[in-house]
A and B are shown apart, each in its own frame.
Chain A
Amino acid sequence: MCPGVGKTYAMLGAAQQELADKVDIVVGVVETHRRVETEALLKGLPVIQRKVIEYKGIQLTEMDLEAILARKPKVVLVDELAHTNAPGSRHPKRYQDVIELLDAGIDVLTTLNVQHIESRADAVRQITGAPVNETVPDSILELADEIELVDLTPEALLERLRQGKVYLGDRAAAAAENFFKDTHITALRELALRFTAERMDKRLREMRASGGKTVWRSGERLLVGVGPSPSSTQLVRWTKRMAAAQGAAWIAVNVESARNLAPEARRRLDQNLSLARELGAEVVVTHDESAADALLRVALQNKATQIVVGRSRNPRWLDIIRGGSLLDRLLRMREPIDIYVVPPERLDKGPWIDWSSRSPSPQREYGAAMGVIAAVTAVGWFLAPHTAYMSVGLLYLMAVIGLSLKVGRWPVLLAGVVSAVAWDFLFIPPLFTFTITRMEDRIMFCMYFVVALVTGQLTARVRAQERHERLREERATALFHLTRALSAAKTLDDGVFAALRQADELFSAQTALLLSDEEGLGLAPHFAGSFAIDEKETGVADWVWHNRKKAGRFTDTLPSSKGFYAPLVREDKGLGVLVVKVAPDATLTLAQRDLIEGFAAQIALLVEREFLRAAGEREKLLVESERLHRTLLDGVSHELKTPLAVLESVGENIAEADPSLRANLVGEMRTATRRLTRLVNNLLDQTRLESGALRPKLDWCDTQDLLNAAIAGVEDSLAGHPFEVVVPPDMPLFRADSALMEQVIANLLLNAARHTPAGTPIFLAAGIDGARKRVFFTVADRGPGFPMEMRERLFQKFQRGDAARAGGLGLGLSIIRGFVAAQGGDVMVGENPGGGSVFTVYLPYEPHGEVPSE
């Protein structure tokens, strides 16, 4: 109700009861004003220490929001809901802290005086005459599960005041003088009672109508026009009250016209609109030269049933010239819409139209207008003796219409007036007087005046509308360009880069983007940003990301930050934060901020697309790696177990075996060990290749040496195949890693021997190609060959030819390719003319440096 009635006391009483019920309850902030009874009630309640904030050398204490969120109690006590936080806090207002607490699932017990309720602030001001600075939006009261009215009769309150129970010390008297008047308290009490009753009533009706769901009971829809004037603030509050009383939805409409608003007015307009938004209105911004037309259009589009307007403050004549005041024109329409007219509370002070910046360079335009009129006057002066003065009038008219195509409406208006006066004075008889004697001249003069003014104004208006169309189109184009750039972007980085550069240009700002990782664990700045976010600002970004609400400059959350922060949200998931930083003296209009949010939405889409794509890729990789894993496991276990089984059985039998059989057993054992050795070597090589640990040591190699070594390693496998080696006598030295190349050749030979029928020949050749750029090694066989479509796949690991005999892991060719590639070469498979396949290994060649002669 009002200070001193015992809200805090009542709250603490409730808290003590909760405590007795063993509820996890803590004190976030309680102002006891050192009242003894109140302080006594604090006993036993755990208190979260307040945070100290330094501001201009003064130490202020504020509720520690982070500490409470971290402590996460069931219930928290937050006194004085309407309190304004110290500058530099997370939110400017305490009620915003409370919203965050509620969002975090923490119940809040709080206190509020009726004069601090936004929609009642005007009423209170009218009653008490004292301005109300700290207000909370009505919407927060809609969040309350329960409202308890702390009521006290005026007499009792004044008695308490006299006893010094309200404010201590000498402040009591001063306070009583100003605020605690009997009449005031009674009025405030009535307000509080009525507010609570209205709320109760609304609750009941809602429950009856919807069974719990909030639907608009009445189908009523209110629409209010919002401008930059302070009286608009009043209108907004008034409409909110009306809407709340009727249980109706409401819309706040701002009609932008060609007029440039002064920065102060622009700020106030934004304030009015965000107030409307806070109070629960849907905000619509539209462009039109005629406010009445725009209001009507929006009203019809949104099926509004009631329109609220302020009473016109224009002089009557101006309204008539303009085709009637807004109110007149609304009243004349035929739609079944109720009109409410709210009188302005007091005269607004100060202009809200920026006279100084109404046109690009007004002085020059006035000059041009006057110049043209002077020129026409001069021409008319010379023509006058030869023609009737009427034609001079037409000349003037032409000049005015011409001017209206080039300059703003005020210079045109001036030109119209000046030309009319000049015409009358210099040309219409009697000359050099302002009097007009002949009736027809008078009529003509009047007609001239009206025609000049109307055409001038009409043309100017058309031009203004054109400019608006252009602005609107620019916005649409910006979004279109963005969408196109984003859909053309092949990667996320491309897209982000394009989007940020467009934003930079469009808003003449610096932009940055912070993206969350896919697990949603942290935010990281994207490299495409045009500025780096410092640590404090990162905190803002974190808040925006967690709460998925915009914040920063031009908003209610952390307004002292440098940038405007828009969240990237897709399906309730914060994907990142878009930051736009304009110069300290520049502003972002509501439309621009909407556009930024549009940008953020588009980028969010892109990011989501990227995340989905990455997830799909991972899924695919997982499947692939599972397949490999299985193949490897199957293959390795088979390949390892076979020779191991042989070894084991040889080991068991060799002692008792017949001496004649012993040689056979030993032979088997040798074969098995060789097979095992080869398998282990292959696995090691593959691992070396994949771990990237393979560093070829290039050195000069002698072909013959190399082939000899390779052949020596596989000689016994080649047995049974006619084998031929061809090396040209002038084969030069080449650079390669001899160990790797030995293995490549050996593996190719082994493959050929293993996969071709016994008795078929194998050829090994080396040489240098015609251009002496590459050396090559070929291994050819007369085996079954490979079908075309298998050839590329052959070199992948765990791939084996269809006709391959059992055994082998399918690693051989993959290792060959890896080894050759590591030395800068290439390997291919082709068809051997006459049957079979040919594997060719190419290595880059360059001649060696000179060997010194002796």
Chain B
Amino acid sequence: MTEEGSRLEVLVIDDETQIRRLLRVTLESAGYRVREADAGLPGLAEVTFRRPAAVILDLGLPDISGCDVLKRLREWSQVPVLVLSVLGQDDQKIGALDAGADDYLTKPFSGGELLARLRVMLRRGQPSDDLKVIRFGEVEVDLVRRVVTRGGQDVKLTAKEYALLRLLAVNAGKVIVHRQILRELWGPNAEEQTQYLRVYIGRLRQKLEENPNNPRHLRTESGIGYRLVVE
């Protein structure tokens, strides 16, 4: 376990002492070093001074909102950020993802889930040559040659389908909110036209998923967006 985190430093910004303590136990047992901040502004200072490998950010903070922390952070740092929220904060969740958060978790969550998400985030954060080809299940997406194969067979995708798959693939593991996808594929005027997405995701699933009715890779995050799960 100790080697997993390889002594990477994770900053936890949350005003609840108990949550911080719990996260510290979970993270330290997984081999991470943990720094804590109990509000947004001290949290931002910590990021500046310590340059942590990842940030776990609660959305409800006493001084400035989690979203504001994220916006200020993203002005100069690309550190991976995992957002914690409670039920019913969908709008804030979407706002945080749109503002540059890498993933989110809804309280209450399990420690295992947290570590898994953190792992994916950190991996994506590392520069890697693998980005040219992304594999999930039987599917291979060659981003250089713009070719998609499933079990060795070429899969024919339309331009938009490919663009959608590519967007999810380069951000593999990360939730991409509806608005972002629509903006990038159909332009800013189409930000509300979620039916486009449903239709195109449906087509991609039909072409790429083993069981399109119960997709393993092209996952829906209800009310928020989509995520490509590669492992």
Partners in one complex: yes
Q: How far is the CB of A844 from chain B (nearest CB, A)?
A: 16
A248 within 8 A of B: no
What are the 8 A-B residue pairs with the smallest beta carbon separation, nearest first?
A848-B195, A700-B195, A705-B220, A738-B222, A738-B223, A700-B194, A851-B199, A702-B198
A477 within 8 A of B: no
B residues near A727, Cβ cutoff 8 Å: 213
Q: How far is the CB of B89 from chain A (nearest CB, A)?
A: 11
B87 within 8 A of A: yes
Contact with A along B202-231 (1 / 0, CB 8 A): 100000000011110000101100000000
Q: How far is the CB of B1 from chain A (nearest CB, A)?
A: 18
| CB atoms of B220 and A851 under 8 A apart | no
Contact with B along A695-730 (1 / 0, CB 8 A): 001011110111011000000000000000001000
Contact with B along A726-739 (1 / 0, CB 8 A): 01000001000111
| CB atoms of A854 and B214 under 8 A apart | no
- 9 CB < 8 A contacts A-B: A684-B88, A699-B223, A702-B198, A709-B220, A709-B222, A727-B213, A851-B196, A851-B200, A852-B196
Q: Complex: how many Å from CA A709 to CA B87?
A: 15
Of all chain A residues, the one with the shortest Cβ separation from B161 is: A854
B116 within 8 A of A: no
A interface residue numbers (CB < 8 A to B): 673, 677, 681, 684, 688, 697, 699-702, 704-706, 708-709, 727, 733, 737-739, 742, 848-849, 851-852, 854
Q: Known interface pairs A673-B108, A702-B202. Does A733 touch B195 (Cβ–Cβ under 8 Å)? A: yes
Q: Known interface pairs A677-B108, A688-B88, A705-B222. Does A700 touch B159 (Cβ–Cβ under 8 Å)? A: no
B residues near A737, Cβ cutoff 8 Å: 223
B16 within 8 A of A: no
| CB atoms of B198 and A849 under 8 A apart | no
Of all chain A residues, the one with the shortest Cβ separation from B213 is: A704
| CB atoms of B199 and A733 under 8 A apart | yes
B193 within 8 A of A: yes
For the complex with contacts A702-B198, A705-B220, A708-B215, 12 further pairs of A-B residues with Cβ separation under 8 Å are: A673-B108, A699-B194, A700-B194, A704-B214, A705-B222, A706-B222, A708-B214, A738-B223, A739-B90, A849-B195, A851-B196, A854-B159
Of all chain A residues, the one with the shortest Cβ separation from B163 is: A854
Q: Complex: how many Å from CA A760 to CA B192?
A: 43
Q: Complex: how many Å from CA A677 to CA B108?
A: 8
Q: Known interface pairs A699-B194, A700-B198, A733-B198. Does A854 touch B158 (Cβ–Cβ under 8 Å)? A: yes
B7 within 8 A of A: no
Of all chain B residues, the one with the shortest Cβ separation from A677 is: B108
Contact residues, B173-207 vs A (CB, 8 A): 186, 193-196, 198-202
Of all chain B residues, the one with the shortest Cβ separation from A849 is: B195
A residues near B90, Cβ cutoff 8 Å: 697, 739
Q: How far is the CB of A362 from chain B (nearest CB, A)?
A: 82
Q: Complex: how many Å from CA A810 to CA B215?
A: 34
Most chain A beta-carbon contacts within 10 A, residue among B108, B193, B198, B199: B198
Which one of B87, B186, B196, B202 lies within 8 Å of A681 (CB-CB)?
B87
Of all chain B residues, the one with the shortest Cβ separation from A729 is: B213
B residues near A704, Cβ cutoff 8 Å: 212-214
| CB atoms of A742 and B195 under 8 A apart | no
B72 within 8 A of A: no
B interface residue numbers (CB < 8 A to A): 87-88, 90, 108, 158-160, 186, 193-196, 198-202, 212-215, 220, 222-223
Q: Complex: how many Å from CA A443 to CA B199?
A: 119
Of all chain A residues, the one with the shortest Cβ separation from B200 is: A851
A residues near B212, Cβ cutoff 8 Å: 704
Most chain B beta-carbon contacts within 10 A, residue among A697, A700, A737: A700
| CB atoms of A849 and B220 under 8 A apart | no
Q: Complex: how many Å from CA A677 to CA B106?
A: 12
Q: How far is the CB of A439 from chain B (nearest CB, A)?
A: 117
Q: Complex: how many Å from CA A485 to CA B160?
A: 70
Q: How far is the CB of B206 from chain A (nearest CB, A)?
A: 11
Q: How far is the CB of A751 from chain B (nearest CB, A)?
A: 20
Q: Complex: how many Å from CA A684 to CA B194?
A: 28
Of all chain A residues, the one with the shortest Cβ separation from B197 is: A700
Q: How far is the CB of B112 from chain A (nearest CB, A)?
A: 12
Q: How far is the CB of B166 from chain A (nearest CB, A)?
A: 15
B residues near A677, Cβ cutoff 8 Å: 108
Q: Complex: how many Å from CA A699 to CA B94?
A: 14
A residues near B193, Cβ cutoff 8 Å: 849
Q: How far is the CB of B19 from chain A (nearest CB, A)?
A: 15
Q: How far is the CB of A526 from chain B (nearest CB, A)?
A: 43
A residues near B198, Cβ cutoff 8 Å: 700-702, 705, 733
A residues near B196, Cβ cutoff 8 Å: 851-852
Q: How far is the CB of B157 from chain A (nearest CB, A)?
A: 11
| CB atoms of B222 and A854 under 8 A apart | no
| CB atoms of B220 and A702 under 8 A apart | yes
Most chain A beta-carbon contacts within 10 A, residue among B159, B200, B202, B222: B222
B residues near A848, Cβ cutoff 8 Å: 195
Q: How far is the CB of B119 from chain A (nearest CB, A)?
A: 21
Which one of A673, A681, A688, A739 lies within 8 Å of B222 (CB-CB)?
A739
B residues near A708, Cβ cutoff 8 Å: 213-215, 220
A residues near B199, Cβ cutoff 8 Å: 733, 851
Q: Complex: how many Å from CA A852 to CA B215?
A: 25
| CB atoms of B160 and A854 under 8 A apart | yes
B residues near A681, Cβ cutoff 8 Å: 87
Q: Complex: how many Å from CA A697 to CA B200?
A: 22
Q: Complex: how many Å from CA A705 to CA B220?
A: 7
Q: Complex: how many Å from CA A727 to CA B214?
A: 12
A residues near B194, Cβ cutoff 8 Å: 699-700
Q: Known interface pairs A681-B87, A684-B87. Does A851 touch B222 (Cβ–Cβ under 8 Å)? A: no
Q: Complex: how many Å from CA A826 to CA B86?
A: 28
Of all chain A residues, the one with the shortest Cβ separation from B192 is: A699
A residues near B201, Cβ cutoff 8 Å: 702
Q: How far is the CB of B84 from chain A (nearest CB, A)?
A: 15
A residues near B223, Cβ cutoff 8 Å: 697, 699, 737-739
Of all chain B residues, the one with the shortest Cβ separation from A701 is: B198
B residues near A738, Cβ cutoff 8 Å: 222-223
Q: Complex: how many Å from CA A199 to CA B198?
A: 101
Of all chain B residues, the one with the shortest Cβ separation from A710 is: B222
| CB atoms of A851 and B213 under 8 A apart | no
Q: How far is the CB of B65 from chain A (nearest CB, A)?
A: 19
Q: How far is the CB of B68 from chain A (nearest CB, A)?
A: 23
Of all chain A residues, the one with the shortest Cβ separation from B86 is: A684
A residues near B159, Cβ cutoff 8 Å: 854
Q: Complex: how many Å from CA A733 to CA B186?
A: 19
A residues near B108, Cβ cutoff 8 Å: 673, 677
Q: Complex: how many Å from CA A849 to CA B160?
A: 18
Q: Complex: how many Å from CA A738 to CA B222?
A: 6
A residues near B202, Cβ cutoff 8 Å: 702
Most chain B beta-carbon contacts within 10 A, residue among A702, A849, A854: A702
B residues near A852, Cβ cutoff 8 Å: 186, 196
Of all chain A residues, the one with the shortest Cβ separation from B91 is: A697
| CB atoms of B87 and A851 under 8 A apart | no
Q: Complex: how many Å from CA A462 to CA B208?
A: 106
B residues near A697, Cβ cutoff 8 Å: 90, 223
Q: Known interface pairs A706-B222, A709-B222. Does A851 touch B88 (Cβ–Cβ under 8 Å)? A: no
Q: Complex: how many Å from CA A742 to CA B90?
A: 14
Q: How far is the CB of B107 from chain A (nearest CB, A)?
A: 9
Q: Complex: how many Å from CA A848 to CA B90?
A: 24
Of all chain B residues, the one with the shortest Cβ separation from A706 is: B222
A residues near B88, Cβ cutoff 8 Å: 684, 688
Q: Complex: how many Å from CA A248 to CA B186?
A: 101
Q: Complex: how many Å from CA A702 to CA B88?
A: 21
B residues near A702, Cβ cutoff 8 Å: 198, 201-202, 220
Q: Complex: how many Å from CA A684 to CA B199?
A: 34
Q: Complex: how many Å from CA A810 to CA B155?
A: 51
Q: Complex: how many Å from CA A27 to CA B37?
A: 74
Q: Complex: how many Å from CA A705 to CA B215?
A: 9
A residues near B215, Cβ cutoff 8 Å: 708
Q: Complex: how many Å from CA A849 to CA B196?
A: 9
B residues near A705, Cβ cutoff 8 Å: 198, 220, 222
